[in-house]
Amino acid sequence: MIKTDVCIIGAGPSGAATSLMLSNLKIHHFIIDKETFPRDKTCGDGLILYAYKAMKILGNNLFEDFLNHPNFLHSKGVRLHINSKICLPVTESEDRDFFISYAKRIDFDHFLVEKLSKIFTNIEFGNGVKNLEEKPDGILITLKDEKQILTKLIVGADGANSIVSKKLALPKNDIKNKSTFVSAYFKNINDFNEMNEGEIRLIYKKAPLFFYIFPLVNGEANVSLGGNSYFIKKHKINLIQEIENIISSNKYVKHKFSNAERISNWRGWVIPYHLGKQKIIGNRFLLTGDAAGLSNAFYKEGVGTGMMSGIIAARNIEKCLKYNNFSANFLKEYETEIKNEFGKLLKFSLYMLKISKYKRIFGFLVEIFKNRFIKKSFKIIERRSY
């Protein structure tokens, strides 16, 4: 049996960020992932706000290497089309370089994993978790190959279907606080401007759906559609049929796809946003990223909040080790810091999502507060970004 102080389950952005910060704090640890890297991950492929902030905090030239990576594309803004008449440009201020980056997860996650410390990190990839068992002196992890690791503290960074959450947090089925999306890669889409601005459109089909076109390097693009999982199920919305219909017949979109070619299959994924409604801590465990439900309900991004939660987790783990206390009560500080960092932003995005169900009211409110939002957005972006 292998013994360790800390074991991270999942090596996506939140798990990798936890590992990188633990290494900065000179804390030895294990990180486990069922896949080997590079591995693909279905996502919208957009990075904003906290992703930049996290990379800056993690240091070691991570942010600079990210900016110079040939597979990542950077832009000063996106355009959010509320309806046929109202477009809300979300852009960076003139004195800053960019607001959003586009990176396939196969590339971005591999980029982070390659930065993991060879001194403080024990890597176990391609070997998933078979079982977790609470013991008096730790959590016993049994892997698929029957290898066992006993850890004083376990970090659940294993996404929306987290085994750590299922086994230790015992989550409720929370379909009302999830989004369901489908996505595919295309090439030769028309009319991307020189600024590489992404496009988001609200499409109403008994429920508000979010349609994304995000540019990528090599002339490719990520095209996605999704919305609240509960309403998609309630109204029996077939997302693949809907997105293909939008591409072929929507008068604001179809011309962009006149020469386009889909170069991947349609794939689905789930985005959880249940902060405050599910457990994220307990005796000897804490959850980060999607496992903790930290995605944004309105614009759906979760990579940045996941990475930032990993940094907050590592700092609290340092305290746990210092005082040799891994209890749920001691870990409440982690939960408090998570809520303080993300609470207002995520609550506001959830409120926006709820209002967006009412098409006319939402459009009317956006029209009234549009200029005020644009003026305030620069400070909001700077506070949560680089």
- Give the pLDDT confidence of 328-375 residue by residue, as tens digits: 999 999 999 999 999 999 999 999 999 999 999 999 998 898 887 767
- Two tokens at 157? 């960074």
The tens digit of pLDDT for each residue in 179-188 reads 999 999 999 9
145 exposure class (CB count in 10 Å sphere: 0-12, 13-18, 19+):
exposed
Strand pairing category for 138-143 and 261-262? unpaired
Given pLDDT bands bounded at 50, 70 and 90, which one contains residue 77? confident
More confident residue, 94 or 73: 73
- Using a pLDDT cut of 70, give the percent of the chain over it: 96
What distance in Å separates the CA atoms of residue 322 and residue 251, rounded to the nearest whole number? 61
Half-sphere exposure for 89 (CA within 13 Å, toward CB): 10
Radius of gyration of the chain (CA): 21
**Where exactly are the structural domains of the chain?**
2-74+100-175+272-354
Who's near 4: CB < 8 A, 6+ residues apart? 28, 29, 30, 122, 149, 150, 151, 152
Given pLDDT bands bounded at 50, 70 and 90, which one contains residue 189? very high
Instruction: Return the amino acid letter for 43.
Output: C
- Two tokens at 33? 């992932």
pLDDT at 62: 97
Nearest of 270, 347, 308 to residue 49 by alpha carbon? 308
What average pLDDT does the segment 212-230 reach? 97
pLDDT at 321: 98
Who's near 76: CB < 8 A, 6+ residues apart? 91, 92, 97, 98, 99, 195, 197
Helix axes 13-24, 105-113, angle to 10 degrees: 20
What distance in Å separates the CA atoms of residue 89 and residue 79, rounded to the nearest whole number? 5
What distance in Å separates the CA atoms of residue 274 and residue 291, rounded to the nearest whole number? 10
Nearest of 174, 200, 197 to residue 291 by alpha carbon? 174
Could you say which architecture CATH assigns to the domain 2-74+100-175+272-354?
3-Layer(bba) Sandwich (3.50)
User: Would you say residue 194 has pLDDT above 90?
Assistant: no
φ, ψ (nearest 5 deg) of residue 306: -65, -45
pTM, two decimals, is 0.95
What distance in Å separates the CA atoms of residue 377 and residue 374, rounded to the nearest whole number? 5
